[in-house]
Structure 1
Amino acid sequence: MSFKYLLLAVFTLLVFNCKQPKAYLSKIEGTQIKISDSLNTDSQIEAFIKPYREHIKKDLDSVLAYSKETYSKTDGNFNTALGNFMADAVFDEANPIFNSRTGKNIDMVLLNHGGIRSIISKGNITTRTAYELMPFENSIVVVALKGTQIASLVNYLSKVKTAHPISKLKLVLNKSFDVLESSINGDNIDADKIYYVATNDYLYNGGDDMDFFKPNEGFFALNYKIRNALIDNFKKIDTINPVRDDRFIQIK
């Protein structure tokens, strides 16, 4: 073996022998840092954020309308003044958009009781009110359903016995919670007709066990948040005074 090859062999052995062993994670340690008012704020960061914070606060506190009373989602068993207002507002704001895009009209609205996250207090209604009512980013969608699927929707509402907000749909139950009457816009539900139901994307995807939206005869995303529909509706009215009515009742 020549000196050149001998040198190369020695070098190769040295490289492999000096190779560092693989490192493995054996333990993770951490320290809990309590966050409280005692932590010092960074004056530069605070100065940078301040104008943005004040701008957002001004927008949220801008007065949009006035409420004659305080309204809660717990003020009725099957329909509530607050739920009725929200469902009607979604219809009023979403139907013109849907009609302009499709030439068709929304037949009814169904929202969910659990989606109402606050009350409307007596007095000024602000943009903040809308964010408190609907803090989620749920958007309005319209689903085309056959009358047979509407029957499943009606059956669902009769079984859950909850004041899910509805608009343009009327339900009357007997004391055993059987459906005595169901109609849309005053007409009996036709099993062969296609109805256009406005709801939110959460319910469309099966939220609250509402599995009657799929399959369907068509789906339309309006790219319009429920919160924004409420804000737009508040801006159009001076005073709100919603009431409980006979859209969903039980006869005992």
Structure 2
Amino acid sequence: MRFIKTLFIPVLTLLIAACQKPGYHLTNQTYSRIQVDSLAAPADSDMTRFLQPYRQRLDQTMNEVLAVSTVRLDKAKPECALNNLLTDAMLQYGNQKLGQTVDCAHLNYGGIRTGLPQGPIRIGNIYEVMPFDNQLTLLTLKGSMLRQFLEYFIGSQADENALVVSGVRVVIKDNVLSSITFTNGKTFDPNQNYTVLVSDYIANRGGGTAFLKDAVARKDYAVTIRDVFIDYFRQLGKAGQPITPTTDGRIAIQ
């Protein structure tokens, strides 16, 4: 027993000393570029077989033709057919499907990621236009705040701040909002309340809209804006209506 104790103590001392020694230190670093190319890399046959049924269902969904457009649609400022079409879809959905009286619909310009092709418009095209999962939010704004909201998007030429709306017609003179007219017949009054359908991104103060925290009321819906567009185009397709959008002067610059 005495021998074991005598042997144990030196060994323990060595172990403690070893743990106290400084570790490794980086003295040099190099790198090399490794190109990952899905076209050149060999496919994993087992994984390909596993994913095949999911890929087939996904392709079937994304390739569903919703409607047909007579022209190609690209976003542009200050107004264009694509911007109008998308916000009109939001406004119609709010009034018909949400059971709400919606005075105005707004879409942030930067959230429109691409255009729509001439010819068949598929679900996959809608995902390209709106790849985000932003959902609908209905805000009740006092007229004075609605004016502030519209002026905010008018006041800058940055992508996020271009005005994209439905339900209102505005006149801009010298970069200042000079007139607001509602298409549902309402008259603008800074002291009256109006409902505005927006994305939850904007309602959550995205893009600098912090003032919306003072909205009179807010109601969120578990409906993505992308699904609103899909529903809208599908309705047009089922009705046999080709898409022939035009600009209507809802944003007039003098």
The alignment's TM-score, normalised by the length of structure 1, stands at 0.84
Structure 1: how far apart are the matches of 2:40 and 2:172? 58
Which residue number in structure 1 is paired with residue 165 of structure 2?
166
Q: 2:245 aligns with which of 242, 246, 250?
A: 242
Query: Following superposition of structure 1 onto structure 2, how do residues 14-53 of structure 1 map, counting pairs within 5 Å?
Result: 14-19=11-16, 20-21=18-19, 24=23, 26-27=25-26, 32-36=33-37, 37-53=39-55
Q: Matched residues in 2 for 1:32 and 1:57: separation?
A: 33
The 10-residue stretch of structure 1 (77-86 or 88-97) with the greater mean CA deviation from structure 2: 88-97
Report the counterpart of residue 139 of structure 1 in structure 2: 135
2:96 and 2:25 map into 1 onto residues whose CA distance is 62
Structure 2: distance between partners of 1:25 and 1:227: 53
Specify the alignment match of 2:186 in structure 1: 187
Q: Are residues 14 and 48 of structure 1, via their aligned partners in 2, closer, same or farther at CA, if it must alter by over 3 Å?
A: same
- Percent identity reads 25
How much has 1:183 moved relative to structure 2? 2.4
Counterpart CA distance in 1 for 2:134 and 2:115 is 18
TM-score by length of 2: 0.83
Query: Which amino acid in structure 2 is aligned with residue 64 of structure 1?
Result: L
**What are the superposed Cα offsets for residues 108-131 of structure 1, whole Å, 9 maximum, x if unpaired?**
111111111111111111101111
Q: 1:69 to 1:15 in 2, by over 3 A?
A: same
The 2-side partners of 1:150 and 1:25 are apart by 62
Change in 2 beyond 3 A, CA 1:94/1:25: farther
Deviation string 1:10-39 (CA, Å, 9 cap, x unpaired) is 746643542341674634876643212322
Deviation for aligned residue 1:158: 3.3
Contact 1:79 1:163 in 2 (8 A): no
- 1:130 corresponds to 2:126: yes
Cα RMSD between the aligned structures?
Answer: 2.5
Return the offset for 1:195.
1.7
Aligned residue pairs: how many? Answer: 241
Greater CA drift, 80-89 or 164-173: 164-173
Q: Which deviates more, 49-58 or 8-17?
A: 8-17
Counterpart for residue 64 of structure 1? 66
Q: Within the alignment, does 1:115 sit opposite 2:99 as a pair?
A: no
Sort the Cα spacing of 1:26 and 1:69 in 2 relative to 1 into closer, same or farther, 3 A: same
1: CA distance, partners of 2:177 / 2:48: 59
Instruction: Verify the 8 A CA contact 2:94 2:101 in the aligned structure 1.
Output: no
Structure 1 residue 208: deviation in Å? 3.0
CA drift of 1:155 comes to: 2.0
Contact residue 80 and residue 163 of structure 1 kept, 8 A:
no
Specify the SS of the correspondent of 2:19.
coil
Q: Point out where structure 2 has 5 or more consecutive residues left out of the alignment.
A: none
Cα offset, 1:95, TM superposition: 3.2
Residue number in structure 2 paired with 1:78: 78
Amino acid at match of 1:60: M
1:211-248 Cα offsets, whole Å, 9 max, x none, are 33222122211111111110011111132222101211
CA distance in 2, matches of 1:97, 1:29: 59
Q: Per-residue CA shift, 1:38-66, capped at 9, x if unaligned?
A: 22221111111122112211111111111
Q: Using the alignment, how far apart are the partners of 1:133 and 1:220 within structure 2?
A: 25
Most deviating of 221-230 and 147-156: 147-156
Measured at CA, do residues 212 and 81 of structure 1 come closer, stay the same or move farther in structure 2, by a change above 3 Å?
A: farther
Checking the alignment, whether the CA contact within 8 Å between 2:75 and 2:115 is kept in structure 1 is: yes
